[in-house]
Chains A and B, each alone.
Chain A
Amino acid sequence: SAVISQKPSRDICQRGTSLTIQCQVDSQVTMMFWYRQQPGQSLTLIATANQGSEATYESGFVIDKFPISRPNLTFSTLTVSNMSPEDSSIYLCSVGGGPGELFFGEGSRLTVL
């Protein structure tokens, strides 16, 4: 299984600021996915990040609000820009393993005041 490390594990931020979340994987992976889990809710896909190309965003998510970098096959960042309390969520990074396997990081719990 892939080992996925996310930083920060949690943070409290002020409204209007931005926060960058890092995702590091212990093996090279083609695609990485970023999800959001709002309080008491299920997971919603934000975007798919391929190395060497722009991320593909799902409906309701835009690059200006959630810019993503994917500089190599083991690392990605997600920035939550100009935060508001509605952005308070857990943000999770996910990668594929063998056929059918999809693993998640521990998540980054963000609280916006």
Chain B
Amino acid sequence: GEDVEQSLFLSVREGDSSVINCTYTDSSSTYLYWYKQEPGAGLQLLTYIFSNMDMKQDQRLTVLLNKKDKHLSLRIADTQTGDSAIYFCAESRGSGNTPLVFGKGTRLSVIA
């Protein structure tokens, strides 16, 4: 199957780190993605990682990939109230011109 699983909710205090977890089932996944969706908006590509990597860092964002366990995580350092949104994990088996399979999204709430 091609299921992508995420926890539905996460609540953190402003300034703390957030860790959003995702598991997937397709071992042939080529790329794994994190998208952010703010209320009433479309999807913003936050970051993605190629399946032969185990870590990618981009400013406050760190992606960790454990291919053996099919586990992906997104860590947001120094979480801000503007980070409150729904975060979707997604996987692709292709090079970027293939459709994605999405998780149900994790709603991150940041408490001031």
* B interface residues, how many (CB within 8 angstroms): 23
**Min CB distance, A40 to chain B, in Å?**
9
- The answer to the question of A100 belonging to the interface, with a C-beta cut-off of 8 Å to chain B, is yes
B24 in contact (CB, < 8 A)? no
CA–CA, A1 and B104, complex, Å: 25
B-chain residues with CB within 8 Å of residue A85 when the two chains form the complex: none
Which of A11-19, A66-74, A76-84, A103-111 touches B? A103-111
Assess whether A31 is in contact with B48, with CB atoms less than 8 Å apart: no
A100, B104: Cβ atoms closer than 8 Å = no
Q: Is A102 an interface residue (CB 8 A)?
A: yes
Residue on A with the closest CB to B31? A100
> In the complex, A102 Cα to B88 Cα: how many Å?
13
A interface residues, how many (CB within 8 angstroms): 27
Tell me whether chain A's interface is mostly helix, strand or loop, or mixed. Answer: strand
Known: A96-B96, A102-B96. A41 touches B104 (CB 8 A): yes
Q: Are B88 and A100 in contact (CB under 8 A)?
A: no
| A106 and B42 within 8 A (CB) | yes
Q: Is the CB of B45 within 8 A of A102?
A: yes
Residues of A within 8 A of B97 (CB): 30-31, 96
Nearest A-chain residue to B101, judged by Cβ: A45
Question: 1/0 per residue A30-57: CB within 8 Å of B?
Answer: 1101000000011111001000000000
Knowing A42-B105, A43-B88 touch, does A105 contact B42 (C-beta < 8 A)?
A: yes
Which of chain A's residues have a CB closer than 8 A to the CB of B96?
96-102
For the complex of A and B, list the 5 residue pairs with the smallest distance between their C-beta atoms, beginning with the closest.
A106-B42, A104-B43, A96-B97, A100-B31, A96-B96
Which B residues fall within an 8 A CB radius of A? 30-31, 33, 35, 40-45, 48, 50, 88, 92, 95-97, 99-100, 102-105
